[in-house]
Amino acid sequence: MVYATLGQMFLGQTERFATKTAHLIPQSGKDPIPVTYGELRTQVHGFASALVGLGVQRGDRVVLQAESSADWAMCDWACQTLGAVLVPIYPTLPADQSQYIVQDCGAKLVVSQNTKQAVKMEGLTGIQVVLLSKEGDQPGLKERAQPDQLSQDAWVQGAQAADEEDLATLIYTSGTTGVPKGVMLPHRAFTYLCADIPSCIPLKEEDVFLSFLPLSHVFERFAGHVLPMSMGATIGYVGSLASLGHDMERVKPTIMLVVPRLLESLKGRIEDGVLKAPPLRQRLFRMAQEQGLKRMRGEFAPLAGVLEGLVGSKIKAKFGGRLRYFVSGGAALPTHVSEFYLALGIHVLQGYGLTENCAAACINRPEDNRPDTVGPPLKGVEVKIAPDGEILLRGRCIMQGYYNLPEDTAATLDAEGWLHTGDIG
């Protein structure tokens, strides 16, 4: 089903999958806590009522400066159901850049992860700053909930009144001059991609995503946050990067969004472990790689399946044992890294996209995964190469423009709707 807006998607899916697990909340040294779609709906209603109590209305900009977490996700969904525009800021951003974004977008409210982040807003006038999560005697959004101030009917009716062209988010990217530019992404950029992706990758509601990349980045925001919601899938959250290995074992993800640097790091750890193994295991690993690469190239590889079972299954177990795909984005993936995993029977699907087109333009398909490419365009995306070699994109996922920067917008989006990426293809 194609929803017009993210708010409508959230309300529709949380009703449809009410008893299914939506989130897995990490606990130190323990199995994660499951939260059903129905419970998530109740919690997000609480967040939404807190925002209403703070004066947030349709179209208002709400800045969120926090690490990725289930609370981050709930704040976003609360904004989407209210028709507010979420403006994410990396918590690593210094105070001067953070304040520039807050002022440029015309923020009504800043939601900071903690007092350390809130301090970055000192000196700003006319802008409320609250905490995302409780700290000491300072309440978080959960503690500020006022369910009586926002009836369920009013909440649903408000979300239903929104339009696909309404602004969903402003995501600031670094410009060539160093001044951040606000990319205006409407609801349809997200919802149409959600409708297109399943025709390229066989996703299902039984899939479990593991979220650990920054939700402030459009890649994780779309593919690790919105896309799972559109399918009724489950999202497990990482406690910290240090606990990633343990979280993979506990969450047992089927899909993980990654950046090339992580895949290279994991590859190095696997290879280090092999070097410390007995000679027979080292030989089996080398044979598994050789046979796997031959199979990839269509060459005769009679032992590939057996060796994948012996070697690949043990490596897959370190990722939880159920992993179907790594989806790599954010930077070019070295071919040898992708081939390393593919030879062991682990799919790495490389894609291509920008913030300006909501992260996804092209992606490799599992049945035709070519490590040295980013794959064909998505169903709803047009791609062409300009005479000078620049990649141009067009489709429903393209931004509306750069906020308050008409000249930059005109230089990037032409009259025919083509997005000039600045990348050479």
Q: Which CATH number is 417's domain given?
A: 2.30.38.10
269 and 211 assigned to the same domain:
no
d(CA 375, CA 362): 6
275 and 385 assigned to the same domain:
no
310 and 369 assigned to the same domain:
yes
d(CA 238, CA 34): 13
Tokens of 257: 């969004």
Give me the pLDDT at residue 239, please.
87
97 and 192 assigned to the same domain:
yes
Give me the pLDDT at residue 28, please.
86
Q: DSSP readout, 276-338?
A: TS-HHHHHHHHHHHHHHHHHHTT---TTHHHHIIIIIHHHHHHTTS---EEEE-SSPPPHHHH
d(CA 411, CA 425): 19
Give me the pLDDT at residue 103, please.
97
Give me the pLDDT at residue 175, please.
58
369 and 387 assigned to the same domain:
no
d(CA 188, CA 205): 22
Give me the pLDDT at residue 176, please.
55
Give me the pLDDT at residue 240, please.
85
Would residue 1 count as lying in a domain?
Answer: no
**How many folded domains does the chain comprise?**
3
Give me the pLDDT at residue 124, please.
94
389 and 312 assigned to the same domain:
no
Structural domain for 407, as ranges: 380-425
- The closest alpha carbon to 194, from 221, 229, 227, belongs to 227
138 and 233 assigned to the same domain:
yes
Would residue 361 count as lying in a domain?
Answer: yes
- Binning the chain into helix, strand and coil, the percentages to the nearest 5 are 40, 25, 35
144 and 54 assigned to the same domain:
yes
Would residue 213 count as lying in a domain?
Answer: yes
Contacts for 235 with CB less than 8 Å, ≥ 6 apart: 22, 23, 24, 73, 208, 209, 210, 211, 224, 225, 228
Q: Beta strand pairing status for 21-27 and 30-36?
A: antiparallel
Q: Which domain-ending residue is among 206, 238, 257?
A: 257
With a cut of 50, which residues of the chain have pLDDT below it?
none
- The closest alpha carbon to 266, from 222, 331, 319, belongs to 319
Rg (CA), the chain: 22
Give me the pLDDT at residue 171, please.
98
105 and 14 assigned to the same domain:
yes
235 and 331 assigned to the same domain:
no
